[in-house]
Amino acid sequence: MQYLISVIHDTSDLATAEEDAAIDVFNDRLVADGHWVFAGGLAGPATATVLDNRGGKAMLTDGPFLESKEFLAGFWIIEAPDLDTALDLAAEGSKACNRRVEVRAFL
């Protein structure tokens, strides 16, 4: 079972050196315990481009698809047997990156 742990944030500040260090420790643990699938931080929402090619002619729009106070700042994809395990890991992740996180299961 895989879970997406989204990191929610409301300013464009990047992680501090301490936060980065804590994230590294957490990531090492995810790898060591077999939970690691993938993770990454994202550039700010202002740098996003929305593309719509449903009509066969790609339309580009500058900016995020949704203007909101809070946005996705990064994410982890983890392997976990159930929600309790995923929530335990998410709790550590939230502490490490010092931001709120959302946990969602993949189908």
Partner 1 sequence: MNTIDVREAVGRAHREEWARLVAALTRRFGDLDIAEEAAADAFAVAVRRWPDDGVPPNPGAWLTTTATRKAIDRIRRESKRDRKHRQARMTYDDRPGTPEPIGDERLRLIFTCCHPALAMESRVALTLRLVGGLTMAEIARAFLVQESTMGQRITRAKAKIKAARIPYRVPSAHDLPARVSGVLAVLYLVFNEGYLATGPGTDPVRHDLTAEAIRLTRLIHALVPGDGEAAGLLALMLMTEARRTARLSGSGALVPLGEQDRGTWDAELIAEGHQLVRRRLASGEPPGPYQILAAINAVHTSARDVRDTDWPQVVALYDQLAALDPSPVVALNRAIAVAELDGAEVGLALVDRLGDRLAGYHAYHATRADLLRRLERDDEAHQAYGRAIELAGNTAETAHLTRLRDRLPVAHNAPSATVIPEQA
- What residues line the site for partner 1 (CB under 8 A)? 1, 81-84, 87, 103-105, 107
Under DSSP, the state recorded for 15 is P
Nearer to partner 1, 33 or 82 (CB): 82
Q: 42: which 2 tokens?
A: 């994202």
CB of 82 to partner 1, least distance (A): 4
Of 6 and 45, nearer to partner 1 (C-beta) is: 6
For residues 80 and 62, give the distance between their C-alpha atoms in angstroms, rounded to a whole number: 36
Q: Report the residue number, 56 or 81, with the smaller CB distance to partner 1.
A: 81
Sequence-ordered alpha helix ranges (H) in the chain:
17-32, 83-97
